[in-house]
């Protein structure tokens, strides 16, 4: 499988993830008016840069470009401009503006995040609206909501910005004590519950000025891992079953196992559970999907036991499962490290799951392009050390 370059960061061509971001780059980047060079253009603030006009014509075209005299010429000019757009012409400031607008959904707060005035941010929003031919933000009551197109852009913009930050943060040396590098990790909320505190302590102790962005993933990454890992510093997830894992590296961090949790007042005693018990009880299942869809980990484990239990409640979270079992006669399958952590809080008992035990392996995954990056090398070693300390602790 060939690896496509990250759009807006390493190539002038767009990947499937970020195609929509730069597809109309002739309008976003626009021509530099009156022969203004790139250095002079880049030094101007957002509020003083010449507004870029969509469409075509003498006001929005480079000198020598075809002027639009009819619909056919207009279409031809747009097609030519899109084909000949290169990375050097992209205004990456607009990418940052778009990211903060999608995050904050508020022009004033987005301006504060970017570090420009509100009028400058409003002007940039107008340029983005012309480019996408969409309002992006529309007023709803006292606030704003994202349009359907804007919601589609959220993930793509985050991925492209993360890749760009990763690219420009790369250096020949890394001093964790003084670095302001931002790292991005993806993991499930279960993984965050296990390593969140020691990870936060590690960064405060060894890299106090560095920033860590943790993005939570839903259910299993499965076949998406080779694509996702290109845009972040690492993904913490179980091994995946693919014939090829192109240009991926991994390092095991820690192990876990599945256990059953019930309310402490449940009539089933501590003697143990049987498969018959599991079949007759109502279940709380995280990320439950109907048959025929790729099954998430808990559903796969239940299917491996030959069970088709009644799912009384489903939730898009691992950490929320114990709270939904507490005080009821339901049952759930939970990772032991999470179960032990939350059993006292929710008055639960933890019982062994019948059948052949199935281990859980959590590994750090990254793209091989990051191997020579000294900052990433520090992150890998830090996470490996954290994993070793977790492995030294008994699961009970």
Q: Which CATH number belongs to the domain containing residue 338 in this structure? A: 3.40.190.10
Report residue 167 as tokens.
């690219």
In a domain, 12, yes or no: no
Residues 286 and 380 both lie in one domain: no
Of 371, 392, 393, nearest in space to 381 by CA? 371
Residues 23 and 146 placed together within one structural domain of the fold: yes
Sequence-distant (6+) residues with CB within 8 A of 381 are none
- Output the CA–CA distances (angstroms, integers) from residue 219 to 174, 190, 290, 319, in the order listed: 34, 10, 14, 12
247 and 260 assigned to the same domain: no
pLDDT of residue 308: 86
Reported confidence tier of residue 142, pLDDT bands at 50, 70, 90: confident
Same domain, 65 and 148: yes
Pick the last residue of a domain from 165, 195, 211.
165
321 with 272, same domain? yes
The answer for residues whose C-beta is within 8 angstroms of residue 62's C-beta and 6 or more apart is: 31
Are 182 and 331 found together in one domain?
A: no
Q: Does one domain contain both 286 and 221?
A: no
**Could you say which of 165, 184, 217 is where a domain stops?**
165
Query: Tell me, what's the pLDDT at 73?
Result: 45
pLDDT interval class at 20 (50, 70, 90) = very low
Mean pLDDT of 193-209: 96
Asked if residue 4 belongs to a domain, the reply is no
Same domain (yes/no): 225, 272: no
pLDDT exceeding 90 applies to what percent of the chain? 49
Tokens of 1: 């499988």
pLDDT tens track for 354-368 = 888 788 999 999 999
**Looking at the structure, do residues 226 and 119 belong to the same domain, yes or no?**
no
**Helix H or strand E segment including 53:** none
pLDDT above 60: residue 47 = no
Do 348 and 373 have their domain in common?
no
- Does residue 11 form part of some domain? no
Last residue of a domain, one of 116, 140, 165: 165
Position 158 in a domain: yes
Task: Indicate whether 237 and 373 sit together in one domain.
Answer: yes
User: Tokens 């913490």 identify what position?
Assistant: 236
pLDDT digits (tens, 9 = 90+) for 104-119: 999 999 999 898 999 9
Domain of residue 261 covers 255-359
Confidence at 97, pLDDT banded by 50, 70, 90:
very high
**Model confidence pLDDT, tens digit, residues 364-391:** 999 998 999 999 999 999 999 999 999 8
What pTM does this model have? 0.61
| In contact, 349 and 266? CB cutoff 8 Å | yes
Whether 368 maps to a domain, the answer reads yes
- Number of domains comprising the chain: 3
């Amino acid at each position: 499988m060939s690896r496509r370059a990250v759009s807006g960061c390493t190539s002038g061509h767009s990947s499937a993830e970020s195609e929509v971001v730069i597809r109309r780059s002739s309008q976003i980047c626009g021509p530099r008016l009156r022969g203004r060079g790139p250095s002079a253009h880049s030094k101007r603030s957002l509020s003083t840069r010449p507004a870029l006009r969509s469409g075509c014509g003498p006001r929005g075209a480079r000198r020598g470009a075809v002027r639009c005299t009819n619909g056919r010429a207009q279409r031809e000019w747009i097609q030519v401009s899109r084909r000949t757009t290169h990375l050097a012409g992209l205004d990456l400031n607009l990418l940052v503006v778009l990211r903060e607008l999608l995050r904050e959904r508020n022009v004033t707060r987005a301006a504060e995040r970017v570090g420009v005035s509100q009028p400058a941010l409003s002007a940039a929003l107008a340029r983005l609206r012309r480019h996408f031919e969409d309002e992006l933000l529309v007023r709803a009551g006292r606030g704003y909501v994202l349009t359907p197109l804007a919601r589609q852009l959220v993930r793509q913009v985050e991925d492209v910005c993360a890749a760009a930050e990763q690219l420009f943060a790369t250096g020949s040396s890394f001093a964790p004590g003084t670095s302001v590098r931002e790292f991005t990790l993806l993991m499930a909320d279960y993984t965050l519950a296990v390593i969140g505190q020691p990870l936060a302590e590690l960064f405060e102790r060894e890299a106090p000025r560095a920033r860590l962005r943790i993005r939570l993933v839903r259910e299993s990454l499965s076949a998406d891992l080779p694509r996702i890992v290109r845009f972040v510093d690492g993904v913490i997830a179980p091994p995946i079953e693919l014939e090829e894992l192109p240009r991926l590296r991994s390092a095991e961090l820690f192990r876990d196992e599945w256990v059953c949790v019930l309310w402490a007042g449940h009539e089933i005693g501590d003697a143990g559970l049987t498969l018959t018990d599991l079949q007759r009880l109502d279940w709380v299942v995280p990320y439950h999907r109907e048959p025929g869809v790729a099954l998430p980990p808990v559903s796969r484990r239940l299917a491996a036991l030959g069970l088709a239990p009644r799912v009384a409640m489903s939730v898009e979270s691992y950490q929320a499962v114990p709270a939904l079992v507490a005080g009821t006669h339901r049952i759930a399958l939970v990772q032991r490290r999470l179960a032990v952590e939350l059993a006292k809080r929710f008055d639960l008992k933890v019982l062994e799951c019948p059948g052949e035990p199935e281990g859980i392996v959590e590994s750090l995954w990254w793209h091989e392009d990051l191997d020579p990056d000294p900052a990433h090398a520090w992150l890998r070693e830090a996470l490996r050390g954290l994993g070793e300390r977790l492995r030294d602790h008994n699961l009970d």
